[in-house]
Amino acid sequence: MIYKSPLSLLEGFIFAHMRIDVVSILPQLMQSWFADSIMKRAIDKSLVEIHFHDPRDYTKDKHKKVDDYQFGGGAGMVMMVEPLALLLDELKAKRKYDAIIYMTPDGIPFKQQIANRFSQFENIAIVCGHYKGIDQRIRDHYITHEISIGDYVLSGGELAAAVVSDAIIRLIPGVLNDGTSALTDSFQDGLLAPPVYTRPAEYNGWKVPEILTSGNLKGIDDWRHQQAVERTKQRRPDILGDE
């Protein structure tokens, strides 16, 4: 299954800058995420393709079963090795993947630096787990990166895959209207972003800091850096480390 906007369908076969293949037993949960806003814009511009693949299409079970009980006993089902292996073998036979990512709570914490690196890849596959996870043999022989979006457990990997996809896609040149916007986001320079303001300059007696309306570009840059440092010290001192 592939999600493409009507505009991209009319444009015909245009090679995208990036292709993301999402392996999920519930692809419909993710499709709406790519149907609007920035994600839709990236697809419309043929900067990215999003394809969905259901392991149920690769199971030999007549009931489309893709999970089974754990060896050794214990509560919870495990996604079976064969459907996932057949699916991933088919994908790998068609193209070389820069990353095959498994979304899992015990993975490496997802950070902006990882998103920056992934945004330079051409082909990415993301495997969404369910139940107690996937058979370890898939992790051992197919997965290249195991990623976590936080120290908590979700019902499935779809939301996590959407988060990672969004963070990656918005960094692709041409996706955002202002290409420099992503460069000033939180974490890009190891700091949280400074406060931001817009019109009107005064509302209900609350005024925008005068430096921001002064036209003094160097002063504004210095103020923003100082605010970013202070905000990071207060809210995320762990980011600064020993600095």
How much is the pTM? 0.85
Alpha carbon of 47 to those of 20, 83, 164: distances in Å?
A: 11, 30, 17
Q: Is 200 exposed, middle or buried (0-12, 13-18, 19+ CB in 10 A)?
A: exposed
Residue 174, CB-side half-sphere exposure with 13 Å CA sphere? 12
Q: Where in the sequence is the domain holding 90, given as residue range(s)?
A: 2-169
Alpha carbon of 136 to those of 81, 160, 182, 213, 227: distances in Å?
A: 8, 19, 36, 57, 46
Residues 94 and 191 in one domain: no
pLDDT at position 141 over 60 = yes
Residues 11 and 127 in one domain: yes
Q: Rounded to 5 degrees, what are φ and ψ at 172?
A: -70, 130
Q: What is the CA radius of gyration of the chain?
A: 22
Residues 164 and 71 in one domain: yes
Mean pLDDT of 64-81: 95
> Would residue 177 count as lying in a domain?
no
Residues 54 and 141 in one domain: yes
Q: How many domains does the chain have?
A: 2
Question: Could you tell me the pLDDT band of residue 17, with boundaries at 50, 70 and 90?
Answer: confident
Q: Across-strand partners of 108?
A: 147
> Would residue 121 count as lying in a domain?
yes
